[in-house]
């Protein structure tokens, strides 16, 4: 029985970074800008965020562990958002091919991280020592059933993720800015003819997607590892799959992220499940599961896609 | 165009009081690259007036109004609104000056509701959150006042074209526009809906609003406008009092020469059946609505069958089903006596199908290829143009040269021109040339003259009639009733996916066509 | 007659201008970054990067050719797919399955020379083709986004190959593949005399041959005509009777074939092994850079691949100047970024110049009118 709880907790841990990054991707695509630079943005955020965490740890500060994590996440977010502006500039102001500029960022991020890390400290790994996992949240963990599910063996990232989900939901669907943002992604010509500033709206959307991607990067590394090692294991691209599977809607995205988190958990924790262990499947096949699952899911989800109509298309005011 | 048929339209004029000009656009110049869309154009509109802006496609009407609406900035000239000089740098400025525009291609967000579309850009908020109750009340009130029936919570993707246009009009009224610009508003309406729209516009004028009506339809101008400004090829030709000018005179101003409104067509007796369509049914993507319902008809050799109908009643889907661009759920298609129901598109071409498609840039051409490459689009694999998988460029360019000469296709660099850079008229000529030169037995022509100037229209009509005289079967879909009446030998009318009438152009009237097109069966006008 | 006569511009020059500008800007940014980190060594390091490949004469040139081979082919792979409207981010996965297949045949099969290596690279390429076929099929049948699909295939390929190595051709002492038999190694056919001491072999010859073949296919055959049409305008191709679904599958399979070939050619070399440590082959991603710089043209892939290999060689020698070689990857990604901008930058400057000219003309007209 406790295995089920463990699996659930592990799924949550895997799912949260996916959720946060995919929500960011949703904001960007709903404004009309495809952002496949998420992998690179996550990595940049993780790099600087973890570096900051390590710096705080090394300075023997008495700051509480969760505060250190929070600062790391916010710094990562800031870095991600600044870097996403490069993609925004290319895609929006310069009207270039959005895939190319995003690919450039994805290539730049690991190169820059490794180069800087090796130059400063002679190695590309940045380890951290804090244990960020909370074995239980005081008071809330006593709630029957829900306490076991959501308030034990959990990271701060989880609560941040839920917060982000709810805030973004209201932002996109209930505010004026959200309405205008969606119009930019569905029919920029209509929005433009009503005086909405497409460029400004899209810049903000890409900026927010970078913020969330950077945060997601720190969340990913702190919850799955003890060091930064210049990779986010394809999470940036998995987040895109989550976005597609979630049909560009916040709560569906959450379900999709949970699904993929669960797949990853099976892959990582197969040794814990006696039923699976008896099948004696080589561990590499377990590693493949999330990716194969993605392909299968996408083959069914892509047909009924409700992508924003103008996503990926360059908007040129000169050609109104 | 036969004026006799237009007598059923009411000739009413408004009695607006002309105080001074509410709009003055003086010496406007706007250039795109080397193209002078507006070359020293002047437009002056009086308050309470219905002012028509007449010109062919490409004359510069839409550009001029886009300047007025703030979508473009003029390179030269001045604009005065209510006597004051203004600079309109974006649609917000235009809105503030009380200018509103209903565009030819609606600018609506399909995923939003009607209400959301109307308030977009002018939303009421509380701390940033949307509060739409007041807006909803205002929209419902306006809708009642002007008889513009609209369901505020309906999704745009699910409502009719007529209602979509009403949403566009409400967008203007919601912002208290005093100057209303309509860009070709009647292209998508039945004759009855057109009359309703005309009444609404007359009401606007009676209330002191000023209207600019962009159109190329002379009968509408005669029916509703006070004065008319004519543009031709970007230049200002003149402004006339509509009462004192005949349609013939206006047409000559528009085109620059004497225009013949009739199409030369001899008699012809149809021969064998070329195309037989039986019980054709096409479902929508969600499989819950039939877009084409059990269509059954024939096209015979030596006849032109015209399909009339309002845009969006299934014509597109019908043609796509027959030509193979879209699957259908029921029905049988026979070409020259051979069952072609399950044929691939290529098989149909090989059986003698020719197709001038509705959307020339989406289906008819590959814009990134050059003219010669486009002229072999369906035929590149034939022995004439390839040997063992390798293209025979000599033959290909020779073929292109022949077609360019025979059909007078104009382009910057001949056969090597990038098709993207060619004008719409010449792109269409290229497609027509290609299809006709393949010597099809059955030619499907969908809106073959859309967006073309009078000269090109005349030319293509001549080509279609020549094909018919050579015993080809031609199926022509058109939204222009004049084209249907003049060119067809037999008319079919489509309404909501079903073929509801078969008429003889010599015996029927535009009005009768209109009644069938809008779903009311029965002969006489009301 | 308006005064807007434009000079007839040389079409080829116009096409490659954006790439040249991008390369220039990328190198400049790289220099600036180097200056930020270590101002004293920056210029020396930069100069070494530009010249480094010539450092040891024919040896380093030969090495450059050897290292260029796989990225020319992955560049061809990405570029070919791109030309036909598809983004092949999966070259890394296609390359690794191709590499494994070639190694497997090289280690375990016993075929006399000269057929051994021929069979090995053929099957390697076919394995890559399979790896491209799958996302192509998914795209054609279910409209699955090929960017995400090919990335998934990268990871699936990586893990699959790890398993296969452990199961079949593992050298347990070093956690990598066993040595390939001599008969399966790519011959050198005299190239080692021209470039003594280097790693070069006929791989580069095969690569150049393939470049020519792909060029012919794309530009001179009905297959190329169809594939490009499908990439430029899917609707128009459908209208034309072209089987667009089949073409998507064919394009991705060919792209996979090329990347698989890259893997086979690179690893049938003495001293080259696949390791069992997880990692995506970097040449797969270099292919994206090569394709973009080479404007998706086959000849472009050749030139861009040689260029990339050239400055990578230089980058290797840059370590003498206290710079980590990853600076090269930074420079390359910057070049890619600028190549995305460059086309737009050109437009931007051209418009500016036009506007200035028009202002001048307006003024001149007004002066005339006053007189």
* Complex prediction ipTM: 0.84
* Residue B334 token pair: 């026979």
Q: Is C137 on the interface with A (CB under 8 A)?
A: no
- In A268-297, the residues whose Cβ lies within 8 Å of chain C are 282, 284-285, 287-288, 291-292, 294-295
* Residue B215 token pair: 């159109």
For residues C305 and C312, what is the distance between their CA atoms, to the nearest angstrom? 11
Chain B residues with CB under 8 Å of a chain A CB are: 66, 69, 71-72, 90-92, 95, 101, 103, 107-112, 116-117, 120-123, 125, 128-130, 171
Are A176 and B121 in contact (CB < 8 Å)? no
* Residue B49 token pair: 């007036």
Residue of higher predicted confidence among B414 and A74 = A74
B236 CA to chain C: closest CA distance, Å? 19
Are B109 and A191 in contact (CB < 8 Å)? yes
pLDDT confidence tier of residue B525, bands split at 50, 70 and 90: very low
Picking from C222, C226, C241, the nearest residue to B344 by CB comes out as C241
Helix (H) or strand (E) holding C335: helix C326-370
Highest mean pLDDT range out of B6-20, B103-117, C123-137?
C123-137
Quick check: B261 pLDDT over 70? Answer: no
Contacts of C358 in chain B (CB under 8 A): 75
**pLDDT tens profile A151-176:** 877 888 888 999 999 999 999 999 99
Quick check: B351 pLDDT over 50? Answer: yes
List all chains that touch chain A, counting a touch as 3 or more CB pairs closer than 8 Å. Answer: B, C
Q: Give the Å distances, CA to CA, from B151 to A52, B113, B166.
A: 55, 9, 10
Best of B32, B67, B71, B121 to substitute, by most chain A Cβ atoms within 10 angstroms, is B121
pTM equals 0.82
pLDDT the model gives residue B296: 94
For residues C2 and C21, what is the distance between their CA atoms, to the nearest angstrom? 31
- Closest residue, chain A, to C139 (C-alpha): A299
Contacts of B95 in chain A (CB under 8 A): 195
Three-state secondary structure call for residue C23: helix
List all chains that touch chain C, counting a touch as 3 or more CB pairs closer than 8 Å. Answer: A, B
Contacts of B377 in chain C (CB under 8 A): 229, 236, 239-240
For the four alpha carbons of B172, B178, B179 and B181, in that order, the dihedral sign comes to: positive
Quick check: B2 pLDDT over 60? Answer: no
> How many Cβ pairs closer than 8 A exist between chain A and C?
134
pLDDT digit of tens for each residue in chain C (371 aa)?
333 334 445 667 777 777 788 888 888 888 888 888 778 778 877 887 788 767 777 788 888 899 999 999 999 999 999 988 898 999 999 999 999 999 999 888 888 877 888 999 999 999 999 999 999 999 999 988 888 899 899 999 999 999 999 888 888 888 888 888 888 888 888 887 888 888 888 899 999 999 999 999 999 999 999 999 998 898 999 999 999 999 999 999 999 999 999 999 999 988 888 888 877 888 888 898 899 888 888 999 999 999 989 888 887 777 777 777 788 888 888 888 888 787 677 666 677 777 777 777 777 777 776 66
pLDDT confidence tier of residue B10, bands split at 50, 70 and 90: very low
* Residue B177 token pair: 């526009």
**Cβ atoms within 10 Å, residue A7:** 16
Determine what percent of chain C falls in helix, strand and coil, rounding each to the nearest 5. 75, 0, 20
Contacts of B171 in chain A (CB under 8 A): 194
A62 CA to chain C: closest CA distance, Å? 32
Cβ proximity of B278 and B298 under 8 Å: no
pLDDT the model gives residue A25: 94
Are A100 and C292 in contact (CB < 8 Å)? yes
**Of B447, B121, B441, residue with least CA distance to B271:** B441
CATH number for region C57-322: 1.10.3470
Picking from C143, C333, C341, the nearest residue to A107 by CB comes out as C333
Residue with tokens 């980590």: C324
**pLDDT tens profile B287-298:** 778 889 999 999
Domain assignments of chain C as residue spans, ordered by start = 1-38+326-362, 57-322
For residues C336 and C358, what is the distance between their CA atoms, to the nearest angstrom? 34
Q: Is B10 on the interface with C (CB under 8 A)?
A: no
Picking from C144, C151, C285, the nearest residue to A237 by CB comes out as C151
B482 CA to chain A: closest CA distance, Å? 31
**pLDDT tens profile A275-310:** 777 777 888 888 888 889 889 988 887 776 677 777
Quick check: B286 pLDDT over 80? Answer: no
Q: Is C332 on the interface with A (CB under 8 A)?
A: yes
pLDDT the model gives residue C11: 67
Three-state secondary structure call for residue C181: coil
Are C238 and B346 in contact (CB < 8 Å)? no
Three-state secondary structure call for residue A250: helix
Residue with tokens 């035929």: B379
How many CA atoms are closer than 13 Å to the CA of B186, on its beta-carbon side? Answer: 25
- In B74-103, the residues whose Cβ lies within 8 Å of chain C are 75-76
For residues A193 and A189, what is the distance between their CA atoms, to the nearest angstrom? 6
CATH number for region A2-301: 1.10.3470
A290 CA to chain C: closest CA distance, Å? 9
Backbone φ, ψ for residue B498 (5° rounding) = -115, 150
């Amino acid at each position: 029985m406790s295995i089920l709880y463990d699996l659930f907790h592990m799924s949550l841990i895997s799912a949260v970074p996916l959720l946060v990054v995919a929500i960011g991707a949703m904001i960007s695509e709903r404004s009309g800008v495809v952002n496949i630079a998420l992998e690179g943005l996550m990595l940049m955020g993780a790099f600087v965020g973890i570096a900051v965490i390590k710096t705080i740890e090394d300075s023997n500060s008495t700051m509480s562990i969760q505060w250190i994590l929070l600062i790391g996440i916010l710094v990562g977010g800031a870095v991600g958002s600044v870097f996403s502006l490069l993609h925004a500039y290319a895609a929006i102001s310069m009207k270039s091919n959005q895939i190319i500029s995003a690919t450039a960022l994805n290539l730049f991020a690991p190169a820059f991280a490794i180069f800087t890390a090796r130059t400063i400290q002679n190695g590309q790994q940045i380890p951290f020592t804090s244990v960020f996992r909370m074995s239980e949240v005081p008071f809330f963990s006593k709630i029957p059933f829900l306490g076991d599910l959501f308030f034990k063996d959990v990271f701060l990232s989880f609560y941040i993720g839920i917060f982000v989900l709810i805030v973004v939901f209201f932002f996109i669907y209930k505010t004026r800015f959200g309405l205008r943002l969606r119009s930019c992604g569905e029919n920029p010509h209509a929005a433009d003819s009503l005086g909405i500033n497409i460029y400004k709206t899209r810049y903000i959307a890409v900026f927010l997607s970078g913020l969330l991607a950077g945060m997601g990067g720190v969340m990913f590394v702190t919850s799955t590892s003890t060091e930064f090692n210049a990779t986010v294991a394809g999470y940036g691209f998995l987040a895109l799959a989550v976005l597609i599977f979630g049909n560009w809607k916040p709560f569906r995205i959450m379900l999709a992220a949970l699904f993929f988190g669960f797949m990853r958990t099976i892959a990582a924790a197969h040794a814990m499940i006696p039923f699976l262990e008896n099948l004696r499947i080589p561990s590499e096949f377990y590693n493949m599961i999330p990716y194969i699952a993605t392909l299968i899911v996408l083959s069914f989800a892509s047909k009924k896609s409700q992508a924003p109509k103008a996503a990926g298309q360059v908007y040129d005011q000169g050609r109104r | 165009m036969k004026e006799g048929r237009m007598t059923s339209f009411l000739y009413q004029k408004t009695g607006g009081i002309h105080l001074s000009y509410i709009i003055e656009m003086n010496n406007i110049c706007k250039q795109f690259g080397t193209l002078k869309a507006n070359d020293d154009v002047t437009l002056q509109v009086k308050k309470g007036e219905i002012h028509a802006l007449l010109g062919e496609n490409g004359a510069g009407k839409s550009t001029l109004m886009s300047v007025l609406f703030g979508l473009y900035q003029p390179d030269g000239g001045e604009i005065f609104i209510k006597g004051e000089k203004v600079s309109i740098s974006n649609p917000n400025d235009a809105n503030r000056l009380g200018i509103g525009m209903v565009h030819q291609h609606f600018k609506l967000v399909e995923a939003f509701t009607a209400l959301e579309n109307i308030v977009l850009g002018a939303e009421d908020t509380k701390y940033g959150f949307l509060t739409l109750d007041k807006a909803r009340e205002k929209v419902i009130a306006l809708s009642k006042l002007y008889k513009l029936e609209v369901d505020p919570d309906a999704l745009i993707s699910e409502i009719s074209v007529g209602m979509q246009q009403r949403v566009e009009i409400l967008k203007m009224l919601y912002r208290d526009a005093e100057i209303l610009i309509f860009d070709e508003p009647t292209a998508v309406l039945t004759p009855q809906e057109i009359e309703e729209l005309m009444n609404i516009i007359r009401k606007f004028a009676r209330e002191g609003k000023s209207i600019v009506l962009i159109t190329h339809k002379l009968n509408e101008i005669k029916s509703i406008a006070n004065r008319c400004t004519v543009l031709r090829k970007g230049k200002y030709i003149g402004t006339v009092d509509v009462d004192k000018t005949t349609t013939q005179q206006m047409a000559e101003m528009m085109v620059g020469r004497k225009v013949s409104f009739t199409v030369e067509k001899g008699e012809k007796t149809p021969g064998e059946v070329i195309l037989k369509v039986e019980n054709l049914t096409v479902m929508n993507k969600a499989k819950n609505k039939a877009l084409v319902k059990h269509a059954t008809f024939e096209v015979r050799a030596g006849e032109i069958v015209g399909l009339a109908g309002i845009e969006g009643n299934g014509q597109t889907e019908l043609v796509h089903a027959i030509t193979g661009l879209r699957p259908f759920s029921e029905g049988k298609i026979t070409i020259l006596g051979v069952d072609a129901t399950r044929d691939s598109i290529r098989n149909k071409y090989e059986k003698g199908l020719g197709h001038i498609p509705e959307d020339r840039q989406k289906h008819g051409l590959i814009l990134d290829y050059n003219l010669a490459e486009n002229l072999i689009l369906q035929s590149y694999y034939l022995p004439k143009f390839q040997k063992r998988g390798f293209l025979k460029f000599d033959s290909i360019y020779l073929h292109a040269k022949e077609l360019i000469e025979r059909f007078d296709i104009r382009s910057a660099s001949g056969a090597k021109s990038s098709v993207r850079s060619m004008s719409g008229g010449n792109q269409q000529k290229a497609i027509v040339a290609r299809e006709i030169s393949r010597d099809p037995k059955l030619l499907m022509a969908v809106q073959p003259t859309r967006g073309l100037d009078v000269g090109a229209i005349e030319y293509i009509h001549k080509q279609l009639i020549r094909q018919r005289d050579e015993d080809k079967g031609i199926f022509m879909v058109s939204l222009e009733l004049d084209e249907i009446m003049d060119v067809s030998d037999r008319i079919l009318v489509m309404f909501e996916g079903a073929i509801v009438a078969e008429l003889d152009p010599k015996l029927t009237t535009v009005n009768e066509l209109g009644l069938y097109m809008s779903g009311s069966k029965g002969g006489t006008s009301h | 007659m308006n005064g807007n006569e434009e000079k007839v511009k040389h079409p080829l020059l116009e096409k490659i201008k954006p790439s040249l500008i991008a390369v220039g800007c990328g190198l400049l940014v790289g220099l600036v970054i180097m200056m930020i980190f270590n101002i004293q060594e920056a210029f020396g390091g930069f100069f070494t990067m530009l010249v480094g490949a010539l450092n040891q004469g024919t040896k380093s040139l030969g090495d450059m050719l050897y290292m260029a081979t796989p990225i020319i082919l992955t560049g061809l792979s990405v570029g070919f797919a791109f030309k036909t409207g598809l983004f092949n981010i999966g070259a890394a996965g296609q390359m690794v399955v191709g590499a494994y297949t070639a190694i497997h045949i090289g280690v375990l099969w016993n075929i006399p020379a000269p057929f051994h290596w021929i069979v090995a690279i053929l099957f390697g390429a076919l394995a890559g083709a399979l790896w491209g076929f799958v996302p192509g099929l998914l795209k054609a049948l279910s409209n699955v986004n090929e960017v995400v699909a090919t990335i998934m295939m990268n990871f699936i390929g990586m893990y699959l190959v790890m398993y296969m190595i452990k199961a079949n051709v593992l050298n347990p002492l070093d956690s990598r593949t066993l040595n390939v038999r001599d008969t399966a190694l790519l011959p050198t056919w005299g190239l080692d005399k021209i470039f003594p001491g280097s790693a070069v072999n006929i791989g580069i010859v095969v690569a150049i041959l393939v470049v020519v073949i792909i060029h012919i296919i794309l530009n001179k055959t009905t297959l190329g005509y169809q594939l490009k049409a499908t990439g430029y305008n899917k609707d128009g191709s459908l209208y034309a009777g072209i089987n667009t679904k089949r073409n998507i599958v064919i394009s991705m399979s060919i792209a996979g074939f090329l990347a698989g070939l890259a893997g086979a050619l690179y690893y049938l070399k003495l001293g080259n092994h696949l390791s069992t440590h997880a990692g995506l082959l970097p040449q797969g991603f270099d292919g994206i850079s090569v394709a973009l710089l080479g404007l998706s043209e086959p000849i472009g892939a050749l030139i861009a691949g040689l260029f990339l290999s050239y400055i990578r060689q230089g980058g290797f020698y840059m370590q003498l100047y206290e710079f980590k070689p990853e600076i090269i990857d930074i420079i390359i990604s910057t070049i890619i970024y600028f190549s995305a901008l460059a086309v737009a930058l050109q437009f931007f400057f051209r418009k500016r110049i036009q506007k200035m000219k028009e202002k001048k003309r307006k003024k001149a007209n007004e002066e005339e009118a006053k007189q």
